[in-house]
Amino acid sequence: MFAKSLILSALAAIAVAAPTPAGAPHPKRSTDTYGNMATWYDAETGNAGACGNYLSNDDRFVAVAMNSPIPCGTWLGFNVNGKTSYGYVADKCASCADNHYDMSKTLFNDFDGFGQGVINDIWSWHIDDWINPTNLLSAL
């Protein structure tokens, strides 16, 4: 029983260490990539995004390349110079390469002001699932 408590305490400390916006899953990382590029765009066009939802610049989301294998709704994590934030795939970008993420204004602003317009050399990864203490207890 002591081992379970020790493991849960360690996992809780890890989960608390990284800031997570409301509504975003806690990170379990896979498919880490580096050397990506990010830009921002005004998503409030009056039209639904490629994933079928109307988008607000106040949300944290990304548009991925049209041929990207990352499905709509997938949460992604990003790290730029030690700052981490999360966004979900909500749109497709016709002019984006596979390593280019077109971010909502809010997500982009987590990393840099709008003046630069482009962020190079960012880390990205997929969020696999939720870290849920209840699921961890049942797995031990």
Answering whether pTM is above 0.85, one says no
| Alpha-carbon span 32 to 15, nearest angstrom | 18
- The domain 2-139 is placed in CATH, from the list 1.20.272.10, 2.40.40.10, 3.30.70.2740, 3.90.550.10, at 2.40.40.10
Task: Please give the chain's pLDDT, 140 residues, in tens.
Answer: 444 443 434 433 333 333 444 444 444 445 666 778 999 999 998 889 999 999 999 999 999 999 999 999 999 989 888 888 999 999 999 999 989 999 999 999 998 766 678 888 887 887 765 443 333 334 44
Domain definitions of the chain by residue range: 2-139
